[in-house]
Structure 1
C-alpha cells in the first residue's frame, strides 16, 4: 500500500518550504491571522494539492529545476483550498477538522470568515502577480466553482431524487476543480503543448473525483480518530453522497428516513446500517477505481521520471485509503 510519505518523497523539500512560506505570506502583519495560519498550516494535512502541482511541475521540466512561479502556484493552490475549508467549517458548524479544533471554534466565526476571505484575497493577489493570463483564468474559475459547489450542496440537502451525475458535478465543483485547474496551470507554466495541458487537467479532474468519492465512503467506514469528526456527519447534515445515492436505489425505507430528516430517535443509525448493508459501498468503490484508472491514462504523454511515477502511484494511494 502506497503511503503519502513515500509518494511525496521526491517533493518533500518543496512541501516543507511551502509550509514555511504559507505561514509568512498569510500572517506577516496580522498577529491573529498568523495564529490562525499556524493553526491551519500546522494541522498535519496531507498537502495533496500542492504535492500534485510540484510533481507535475517537475515531470514537465525534466532535467531542470522548477521555477519560482511553479512554487508560487503550489502556495496559491493550498491557500485557496484552506480558505474553502475555513468557510466550509463555518457553514457546516464543524467543531473539529483533522482531529484539531476548527478556526471558528478556536477564534470565533468573525475571525474565521475574515481569515477565509483574507486567504482568498491573498491567493488572488499572488495569482495576478504570476503575470500569466491563462493561469489567472484557470485558478479564478476554481474560486467560482467552489462557491457553485457549496450552493448546490446547500440547495440539495435531503433531496433523495439527486442523481449520481449531479453528485459528481457537485464533487467536481467542490473538490476536483482545484486539482484539475492547478494541474493544468503547472503544465502551462512549463510551456507544455495544449494537448498535454488538457491531459493534465483531466488527470486532476479524475484524481479529484476519486479522492472525493473515497472521502464519502470513509464518512461511513472511518473511525472518529481517522475522520476527525463523527461517522455519518455528511448524511446527518443532508449531504447525500455516492454510497447513499446507490443505496437509495435498493431500499425505499432509506428514502423515508432521509426525507423526514432523521426526525425520530434512531433514524440516523438505522439509515447508516441500511447503507452499510447495501451494495452502495461496493458500487462507490468501483466508481472511485474507475476515476483513478482514468487519471493514470491521462499521463501517457509525460516523459518517464520519478515524478511521473509518483503521479501514477497517486491513484493507488487514493484508493488505498479505503483499506
Structure 2
C-alpha cells in the first residue's frame, strides 16, 4: 500500500507532519457508490474547525505574565533562543487551553436555575471582557479543542529531543489536574478547606504552569541553580492576589463581572479565611450555596468579610509571600525584571 504524508498547521504557523498508509483504491465501487479510500491529508480547513474555540480565546490576550516570567528567569538561565521559543509557545498553548476548561461551566448553570455547578469546570460568562468560548462554539467542541491543544503542546516539546522535558510535562499536567480536581470538589460539595489545603491546591493548579515553564528552562540550561522554590512563591502570590482582586477591585469587576467567585460558589483564599473566623455563622456558606447573581447579596457578603478582617489578613499574607519571594530573588543574585513583576503584583488597600 502506498505511503502518504499528512500535514496540519501548528498554532505558531509551523507545520506538523504525520505519515500514514492509504488504502488502495477500490476499482469498482459497491452499490452505495462511495469511495472508501482513506483521505491522505489533514486539511487546514479542518484544523481551523478544531482550533476554533482556542483561537477565539487567543484573539483576546491577557497580560501574559507567564511570558514575562520566562523572559525574566532567562536572565539567569540563558536558554538558547530556539529552545526558549518552543517552551514559551508550549506554556502559552497550555495556559489558553486550560482556560477553555477552567471557565467552561460557569455559563452552563446559569441556563438552568435548578442546575448545580457540576457540569465541567468553573462557571464564568465573561473572560477578558468577552463571552467565554463555549457560549460561541458549544461545550463539546470547546472541550475537544482544549484537549487537542494539550497534545499539540506535547508534540511541540518532542521537537527538543530531550527526554527530561516530557517527564516534566507529565508531572506538571498531573499536578494541574490534581489542583483543579480538589478546587472543584470543595466547591461542588460545599466543603470549606483549610487555608493550608487551599495553598497546596493553588501550588498544583496555578503554580503548575509557572513551575512547568521554569523546570523546562532549567532542563534546557547549563545552569544548575534551582529556581523552583522562588517560582512556587510567585504562583501563590499570583492566585491569592487574584482572589483578593475578584472581591475588591473595580477594574477586575469590569472585565470579569462583580465578585464572580461568590456566584461560582468558590472557596477562594479570602472566603475561606472569613468562614473560618466564625464557623458558627453560616451566612457566607449559604451565600456560596445559592450561586447568587444578586449584587446586593454579594455586597453584603463583601461587607461581612470586611468585618471578619479578611481583606486586611489577605493583604498581610500577600506581603509575607512577597517578602519571602524577594529574599529568594536576592539570594540568587538579584533580577530587575523579576523585581518589577513582583512590584506589579503588590496590593494596596485602595484598589
Relative to the length of structure 1, the TM-score reads 0.81
Q: Could you report, residue by residue, the CA deviation over 1:176-225 in whole angstroms, capped at 9, with x for unpaired residues?
A: 121123113212212211xx12xx11121111110100000011112366
Distance verdict in 2 for CA 1:23–1:226, change over 3 Å: farther
Q: 1:163 aligns with which of 186, 190, 194?
A: 194
Q: Deviations over 1:295-315 (max 9, x none)?
A: 2222335456xxx21112211
**Distance in 2 between the 1:164 and 1:177 partners?**
18
Q: Quote the Cα distance in structure 2 between the aligned partners of 1:116 and 1:134.
A: 24
* DSSP 3-state at the match of 2:256: coil
Is 1:213 aligned to 2:227, yes or no?
Answer: no
Give the Cα separation in 1 of the matches to 2:348 and 2:134: 28
Q: Please say if residues 198 and 269 of structure 2, whose CA atoms lie closer than 8 Å, have aligned partners that are also in contact.
A: yes
SS in 2 for 1:69: helix
The runs of 5 or more residues in structure 2 that have no matched partner are 1-9, 17-42, 105-120
SS of aligned partner of 1:273: helix
Contact 1:214 1:321 in 2 (8 A): no
1:54 to 71, 74, 84: 71
Give distance in 2, aligned partners of 1:262 and 1:276.
20
Match of 2:48 in 1: 31
Does the 8 Å CA contact 2:54/2:146 hold for their aligned counterparts? Answer: no
Counting only pairs closer than 5 Å after superposition, residues 26-105 of structure 1 correspond to structure 2 as 29=44, 30-61=47-78, 66-90=80-104, 91-105=121-135
Equivalent position SS for 1:93: coil
The 8 Å contact of residues 145 and 173 in structure 1, kept in 2 or not, is answered as: yes
2:157 counterpart of 1:127: yes
Cα deviation per residue 1:21-66 (whole Å; 9 max; x = unaligned)?
A: 84536999312245434422221311111221122123322xxx83
User: What are the superposed Cα offsets for residues 243-282 of structure 1, whole Å, 9 maximum, x if unpaired?
Assistant: 1122123344653441471389865443232013331111
d(CA) in 2 for partners of 1:263, 1:254: 18
> Does the alignment pair 1:190 with 2:204?
no
Give yes or no for the alignment of 1:250 onto 2:267. no
Alignment RMSD: 2.8
- Secondary structure at 1:249's aligned position in 2? helix
Q: Which structure dedicates a bigger proportion of its chain to helix?
A: 1
Report if the CA contact (8 A) 2:126-2:132 is conserved. yes
Q: Which residue of 2 aligns with 1:285?
A: 315
- How many angstroms does 1:136 deviate by? 2.0
TM-score by length of 2: 0.75
Could you list the runs of 5+ residues in structure 1 that have no partner in the other structure? Answer: 1-20
Separation in 2, partners of 1:79, 1:204: 20
**Higher RCO, 1 vs 2 (CA within 8 Å, ≥6 residues apart):** 1
Q: Which residue of structure 2 lines up, in the alignment, with residue 7 of structure 1?
A: none
2:203 is the counterpart of 1:172: yes
Which residue matches 1:17? none
After TM superposition, the structure 1 stretch with the greater mean CA deviation from structure 2, 109-118 or 176-185, is: 176-185
